């Protein structure tokens, strides 16, 4: 059963637009879980991290490209790389 701790915080009304089949599926799931659709949505939304909780990865995408700087694949075309991967995968 899904249940949120009540914090005494004021609730706000929310209007959503979803496909009818999605709504029906969610309503059925909520009934099976013994809860309401409102509680399911609020639980899902409450799991969104605060901006302060989002951590920066230990390296950037640009730094990752540096790994290939001296690689022989650097001068290969996409097609050559794809052919090499297929040969490697199938032992050709």
What string of pLDDT tens digits covers the 92 residues of the chain?
Answer: 455 555 678 989 989 899 999 999 999 999 999 999 999 999 988 888 777 666 666 666 656 655 556 666 677 788 887 888 888 888 77
- Under 8 Å CB-to-CB from 39, ≥6 apart: which residues? 2, 3, 4, 30
Q: Is residue 41 part of a domain?
A: yes
- Under 8 Å CB-to-CB from 43, ≥6 apart: which residues? 2, 4
Distance between terminal CA atoms of the chain?
Answer: 54
* Chain mean position to CA 7: 28
* Residues of the domain holding 40: 17-50
Q: Is residue 76 part of a domain?
A: no
pLDDT at 82: 82
Q: Structurally, how many domains does the chain consist of?
A: 1
Q: Is residue 27 part of a domain?
A: yes
Q: Is residue 72 part of a domain?
A: no
Q: Is residue 42 part of a domain?
A: yes
């Amino acid at each position: 059963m899904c249940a949120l701790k009540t914090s005494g915080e004021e609730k706000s009304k929310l209007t959503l637009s979803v496909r009818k089949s999605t709504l029906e599926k969610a309503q059925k799931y909520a009934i099976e879980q013994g809860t309401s659709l409102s509680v399911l949505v609020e639980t899902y939304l409450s799991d969104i991290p605060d901006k302060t909780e989002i951590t920066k990865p230990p390296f950037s995408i640009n730094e990752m490209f540096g790994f290939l700087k001296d690689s022989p694949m650097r001068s290969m075309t996409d097609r050559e790389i794809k052919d090499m991967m297929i040969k490697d995968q199938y032992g050709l």
